[in-house]
């Protein structure tokens, strides 16, 4: 499912010279991943070329739509128009019904397109729930691959592709920078929307943290102490968060990108789609703060970044 490792590691653009091959990695994080649209808006505005995209979960979906040729502006407009509809509803009858709803919306935008139809090479990440191995997908039909990369356990059912039962790639790694390097990227920009491990009372209500608003007896973040002892479910939730965070940071350390963007989306729950504009604005602001670092990725003796867009 993945193309051969390596390949061309520089790009020649007529009149501008030879520049490094640029990879963009868009991480998973549910509604926080809407920040990717803001990031893409700034990169497009500044004429930052992207040669390949690696996406996980929401990062895979937004990466696919962008790679297909849908502008960040149109993406933002479409999502704002869908706010409050059943697209983001958790109240549908079953997990499969929710997944069919997402499939319908993706099909309207992408029809029956394949990875070969994309303008920018794309890889989306999934996990084989049987073997426990990560599965990069970069060929075949787009819709099943996007449903697989976003098949959050307990929210959506696994998706069968080539006999494998696939789950959200974030189960193993929500920010697959290693895949961008393996596919020949010389410079990597990564957008991390994974929620940080904050100091908090260990008995945060799990659904409060996921949905982004406080439920009875639940806390979101370190807002104070409770006299109530942590429930078994809250203890399991906290332990899982601690393990996942340390794994995330360790993998990021071993495959560090050249520019790491971390939009300020910590206050949004993974499934909290009530505020669509907020995460997108955070993506814009974070990218603008790092524009000098991003431009510096292209600085070579044979490439004139200053002439882009002129």
Domain boundaries, the chain: 10-197+256-307
CATH code assigned to 10-197+256-307: 3.40.1090.10
Q: What is the pLDDT along the chain (310 residues), one digit of tens a residue?
A: 433 344 455 666 655 667 899 999 999 988 889 999 999 999 999 999 999 999 999 999 999 999 999 999 998 887 766 554 444 555 545 667 777 878 888 888 898 999 999 999 999 999 999 999 999 999 999 999 999 999 988 788 999 999 999 999 999 999 999 999 999 999 999 999 987 777 554 455 555 555 444 443 333 444 444 446 667 777 777 788 788 888 889 988 999 999 999 999 987 766 666 777 899 999 999 999 999 999 999 876 666 555 554 4
pLDDT of residue 26: 98
Residue 134 tokens read as 């990560």
pLDDT of residue 31: 83
Q: Does the pTM exceed 0.85?
A: no
pLDDT of residue 152: 87
pLDDT of residue 15: 56
pLDDT of residue 139: 97
Task: Name the percent of the chain in helix, strand, coil, to the closest 5.
Answer: 40, 15, 45
Round the CA-based radius of gyration of the chain to a whole number and report it: 19
pLDDT of residue 301: 64
Size (the chain), residues: 310
Contact yes or no for 293/49 (Cβ under 8 A): no
The residues carrying an active-site annotation are 57, 168
The dihedral region occupied by 157, where left means phi > 0, alpha psi between -120 and 50, and beta the remainder, is beta
pLDDT of residue 85: 47
């Amino acid at each position: 499912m993945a193309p051969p490792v390596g390949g061309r590691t520089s790009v020649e653009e007529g009149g501008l010279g030879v520049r490094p091959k640029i990879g963009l990695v868009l991480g998973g994080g549910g509604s926080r991943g809407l920040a990717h649209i803001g990031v893409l808006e700034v990169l497009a505005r500044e004429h930052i070329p992207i040669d390949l995209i690696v996406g996980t979960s929401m990062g895979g979906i937004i990466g696919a739509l962008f790679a297909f040729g849908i502008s960040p502006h149109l993406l933002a407009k479409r999502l704002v128009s869908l706010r409050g509809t059943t697209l983001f509803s958790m109240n549908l009858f079953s997990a499969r019904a929710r997944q069919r709803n997402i499939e319908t919306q993706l099909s309207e935008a992408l029809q029956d397109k394949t990875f070969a139809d994309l303008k920018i090479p794309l890889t989306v990440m999934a996990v084989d729930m049987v073997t426990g191995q990560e599965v990069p997908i970069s060929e075949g039909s787009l819709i099943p691959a996007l449903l697989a990369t976003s098949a959050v356990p307990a929210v959506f059912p696994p998706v069968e592709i080539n006999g494998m039962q696939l789950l959200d790639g974030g189960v193993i790694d929500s920010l697959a920078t290693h895949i961008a390097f393996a596919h020949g990227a010389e410079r990597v920009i990564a957008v991390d929307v994974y929620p940080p491990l904050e100091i908090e009372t260990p008995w945060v209500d799990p659904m409060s943290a996921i949905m982004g608003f406080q439920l009875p007896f639940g806390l979101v973040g370190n807002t104070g102490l409770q006299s109530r002892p942590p429930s078994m479910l809250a203890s399991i939730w906290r332990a899982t968060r601690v393990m996942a965070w340390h794994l995330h940071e360790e993998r990021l350390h071993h495959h560090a990108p050249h520019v790491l963007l971390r939009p300020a989306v910590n206050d949004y729950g993974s499934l909290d789609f009530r505020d669509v504009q907020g995460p997108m604005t955070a993506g814009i602001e974070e990218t603008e703060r790092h524009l000098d670092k991003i431009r510096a990725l292209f600085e070579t003796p044979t490439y004139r970044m200053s002439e882009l867009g002129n």
